């Protein structure tokens, strides 16, 4: 009977995704990649099995929550396992123990395991902690971010769970970092809930060791009329973010501080118009930022506001019109997006024109999704688009101090991660002209 339920939970969403969900149509190549670079095709989905007992933790991931705290999230198949985490700065020696909460959810014939969420802390910065979940299974460890600069973020969107995903995660893991930021489209489960479990197991070796901070994409919606009209059921249950701590009323948008950076995660697939809770929250959140304490402000959103790829044209436009002015007046430094399965970096922009007081816009929806790459860019290229390439990869934002940061994009080239694009960024809050509200705009090129 259990096997029959698992079959039904898998096969029904499979046919649902074929007939009800749109698919990206890929076309001919136009990129900034060197002529001798051979772009690899999409690769097959990797299904990661559960190899521990029903009482042992699986799908372990950690996330930042409030000041000096971490949330540990995991799933067990057994219901008797307590939602407790033991932790300490030495292996096997636990000086702290916290109890949290648990939940589960149904989706058609699927019933999730017991989802545990435990907040631990206060924790010291830049310190490795060892922890055990629920009193069962292996010991894990994570390192807390530093309290001040320098700090390094990995940014990767549209991750999925393919052989390209494995390559991306391997390249990410080749060099240390402090926090991973993911602007939407995590598992590509698309209503097949077993793929959520598989994704959690796939990323556990990475997400259990460094905080993963995520926001939703279109593949997290999983809306079905009447039965599941609200959407995001699995996403909200499995990937709880610190929205309450930032004054948000929704797990779909929130913010947090880490070291000297204020990170804002926006929701492309919840209301964002003038009367929406999200827009009012964003305005209040931006108003609370102290650039003396957090001089860098970074925003993540799924659907890009600027895009010269032929895929997903205009899908972020209404959100841009609603929110762009707020970000510009707050002197946001960088805006990252996913959705388009390619990499593209723009100059500083405001209202479709080059503006040295506007954010740098970067699309990085190339983590390893099953749909493949968005191969076609518009030609001729806009002068606002400084680098664009449809290849799988990941990015790194290393903030050195309150003045400068270094951004680099690393193309997946099978066994090697090749740094194909890089740029130095100056902090906008340190620009006298931008602080005074003057326009340093020197170019009037329109997108």
**Catalytic (active-site) positions:** 312
Tokens of 41: 């095709």
DSSP assignment of 27-62, as one string?
-----SS-TT--PPPP-PBPPPPP-S-TTS-EEEEE
Residues 6+ apart with CB under 8 A from 436: none
Residue 116, helix vs strand vs coil: strand
Tell me which residue of 426, 444, 443 sits closest to 435, measured CA to CA. Answer: 426
Q: Please tell me the distance from the alpha carbon of residue 435 to that of residue 330, in angstroms, as a whole number.
A: 9
> Which contacts qualify for 311-316: CB closer than 8 Å, 24 or more apart?
311/24, 311/340, 311/341, 311/342, 311/374, 311/376, 312/339, 312/340, 312/374, 315/339, 316/268
Q: Where are the alpha helices (DSSP H) in 307-376?
A: 317-329
Q: Please tell me the distance from the alpha carbon of residue 121 to that of residue 119, in angstroms, as a whole number.
A: 7
What's the sign of the alpha-carbon dihedral 390, 32, 383, 439?
positive
Q: At what angle do helices 277-288 and 317-329 cross, to 10 degrees?
A: 20
Q: What share of the chain is helix, strand, coil (3-state, %, to 5)?
A: 20, 30, 50
| Element holding 11 (H helix, E strand) | helix 2-20
Q: Where are the alpha helices (DSSP H) in 310-427?
A: 317-329
Q: Please tell me the distance from the alpha carbon of residue 293 to that of residue 187, in angstroms, as a whole number.
A: 35
Tell me which residue of 317, 307, 314 sits closest to 341, measured CA to CA. Answer: 307
């Amino acid at each position: 009977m259990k096997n029959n339920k698992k079959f039904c939970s898998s096969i029904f969403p499979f046919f649902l995704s074929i007939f009800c969900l749109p698919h990206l149509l890929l076309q001919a190549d136009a990129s900034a990649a060197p002529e001798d670079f051979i772009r690899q095709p999409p690769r097959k989905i990797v299904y990661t099995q559960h190899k521990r007992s029903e009482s042992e933790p699986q799908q372990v991931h950690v996330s930042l929550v409030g000041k000096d705290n971490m949330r540990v999230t995991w799933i067990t198949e057994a219901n008797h396992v307590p939602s407790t985490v033991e932790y300490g700065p030495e292996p096997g020696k636990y000086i702290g123990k916290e109890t949290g909460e648990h939940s589960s959810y149904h989706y058609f014939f699927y019933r999730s395991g017991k989802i545990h969420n435990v907040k631990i802390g206060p924790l010291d910065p830049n310190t490795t902690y060892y922890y055990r979940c629920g009193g069962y299974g292996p010991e894990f460890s994570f390192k807390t971010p530093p309290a001040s600069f320098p700090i390094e973020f990995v940014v990767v969107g549209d991750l999925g769970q393919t052989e390209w995903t494995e390559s991306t995660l391997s390249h990410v893991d080749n060099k240390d970092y402090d926090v991973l930021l993911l602007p939407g489209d995590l598992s590509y489960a698309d209503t097949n809930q077993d793929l959520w479990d598989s994704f959690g197991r796939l990323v556990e070796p990475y997400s259990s060791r460094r905080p993963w901070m995520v926001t939703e994409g279109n593949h997290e919606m999983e809306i079905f009329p009447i039965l599941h009209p609200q959407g995001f059921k699995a996403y909200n249950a499995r990937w709880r973010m610190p929205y309450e701590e930032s004054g948000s009323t929704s797990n779909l948008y929130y913010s947090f501080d880490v070291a000297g950076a204020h990170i804002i995660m926006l929701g492309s697939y919840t209301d964002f118009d003038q009367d929406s809770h999200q827009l009012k929250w964003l305005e209040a959140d931006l108003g609370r930022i102290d650039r003396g304490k957090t001089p860098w402000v970074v925003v993540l959103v799924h659907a890009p506001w600027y895009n010269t790829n032929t895929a997903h044209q205009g899908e972020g436009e209404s959100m841009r019109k609603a929110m762009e002015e707020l970000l510009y007046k707050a002197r946001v430094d960088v805006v990252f997006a996913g959705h388009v399965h390619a990499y593209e970096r723009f100059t500083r922009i405001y209202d479709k024109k080059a503006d040295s007081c506007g954010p740098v816009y970067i699309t990085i929806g190339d983590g390893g999704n099953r749909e493949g790459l968005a191969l076609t860019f518009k030609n001729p290229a806009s002068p606002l688009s400084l680098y664009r390439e449809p290849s799988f990869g990941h990015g790194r934002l290393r903030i050195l101090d309150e003045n400068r940061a270094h951004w680099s994009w690393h193309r997946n080239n099978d066994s090697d991660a090749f740094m194909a694009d890089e740029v130095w960024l100056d902090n906008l809050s340190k620009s006298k002209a931008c602080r005074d509200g003057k326009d340093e705009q020197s170019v009037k090129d329109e997108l």
